[in-house]
């Protein structure tokens, strides 16, 4: 056999091996995701207590889209390292999931989550506690540059009391397909007291399509009402971070409208708390 035949035979064998490897590889079609890492500085004044805190945020989301238009499901996990008192760490962690319908006009679905802190996180939580959240959410892609958002639901648990409710409305404007400006309004009423009314805004930018990492910075303010004979207060937080996007998107708008959802039916009262 001459050299040309050897080359042809090797090329054929390589093709067969590649085809076999491709057939044995896991099918990742339909999967997407997001990894979020950030830092939060917050000042909370409530019930006479004033405290500055540092918070290091880590979150991961895994999305599976059955079809678009069609159904999709997503699971979310997060673990925040909360330093409300120097050298005293509390883990604020949560796990949840969403099921929703998505098409080129928007999304609609429901979410549920479980939140827990393993140590006092003054002045937000006096000790170990847990919170459960359930709710519905929707996004409407009214035009290519504007998304309208709404959510609502309830919470219960040791930290918030029974029969507690929340609602929120927001919008995202794309000044450019890779530059998103977001604003939202939140209202939460806790049967244990201290209703929260908050506003939040942030800017997110994706510098390079070849590297799907976006950068963001934002501000979160909430007014905390009086509860019985206790004092009210407020919270203010500034935050920044980066997000690594997985999926078939190209621009930031693609990732936010077809990738992992970030506007879900979870409760976010203020001080960058996410239940």
Model confidence pLDDT, tens digit, residues 104-125: 999 999 999 999 988 877 667 7
Q: What is the pLDDT of residue 229?
A: 53
Predicted confidence (pLDDT) at residue 26 exceeds the cutoff of 60: no
Q: What is the pLDDT of residue 254?
A: 95
Predicted confidence (pLDDT) at residue 231 exceeds the cutoff of 70: no
Mean pLDDT of 78-84: 90
Please give the biggest Cα pair distance in the chain.
96
Beta bridge partners of 137: 109, 151
Beta bridge partners of 45: 50, 234
Is 74 in a helix, a strand, or coil?
strand
Beta-carbon contacts of residue 234 (< 8 Å; ≥ 6 apart): 44, 45, 221, 222, 223, 224
Buried b (16+ CB within 10 A) or exposed e, 115-148: bbbebbbbbbbeeebbbbbbbbbbbebeeeeebe
Give dist(CA 92, CA 19) in Å, integer.
46
If you search the block for the tokens 């004033």, which residue do you land on?
50
Q: What is the dihedral of CA 47, 267, 185, 232, to 10 degrees?
A: -10
Give dist(CA 12, CA 181) in Å, integer.
53
Here the contacts of 53-57 (C-beta below 8 Å, separation 24 or greater) are 53/82, 53/83, 53/84, 53/121, 54/82, 54/83, 55/80, 55/81, 55/82, 55/83, 55/92, 55/272, 56/80, 56/81, 57/239, 57/241, 57/272
Q: CB–CB of 188/267 below 8 Å?
A: yes
Q: What is the pLDDT of residue 24?
A: 42
Predicted confidence (pLDDT) at residue 206 exceeds the cutoff of 60: yes
Per-residue pLDDT reduced to its tens digit, 189-202:
987 777 889 999 99
Give dist(CA 183, CA 167) in Å, integer.
14
């Amino acid at each position: 056999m001459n050299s040309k035949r050897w080359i042809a035979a090797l090329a054929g064998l390589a093709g067969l091996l590649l085809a076999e490897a491709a057939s044995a590889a896991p099918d990742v079609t339909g999967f997407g995701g997001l990894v979020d890492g950030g830092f939060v500085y917050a000042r909370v004044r409530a019930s006479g207590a004033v405290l500055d805190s540092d918070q290091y945020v880590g979150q991961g989301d895994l999305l599976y889209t059955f079809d678009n238009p069609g159904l999709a499901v997503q699971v979310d996990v997060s673990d925040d390292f909360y330093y409300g008192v120097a050298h005293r760490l509390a883990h604020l962690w949560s796990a949840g999931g969403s099921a929703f319908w998505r098409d080129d006009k928007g999304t609609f679905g429901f979410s549920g989550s479980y939140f827990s802190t393993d140590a006092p996180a003054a002045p937000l939580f006096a000790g170990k506690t847990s919170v459960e959240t359930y709710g519905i959410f929707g996004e409407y892609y009214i035009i290519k540059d504007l998304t309208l958002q709404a959510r609502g639901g309830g919470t219960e648990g040791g930290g918030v009391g029974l029969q507690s409710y929340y609602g929120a409305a927001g919008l995202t404007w794309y000044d450019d397909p890779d530059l998103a400006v977001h604003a939202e309004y939140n209202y939460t009423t806790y049967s244990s007291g201290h209703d929260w009314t908050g506003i939040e805004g942030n800017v997110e930018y994706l510098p390079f399509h070849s590297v799907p990492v976006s950068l963001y910075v934002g501000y979160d303010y909430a007014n905390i009402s009086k509860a019985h004979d206790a004092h009210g207060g407020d919270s203010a937080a500034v935050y920044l971070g980066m997000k690594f996007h997985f999926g078939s998107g190209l621009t930031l708008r693609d990732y936010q409208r077809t990738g992992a959802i970030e506007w879900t039916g979870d409760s976010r009262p203020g001080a960058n708390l996410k239940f």
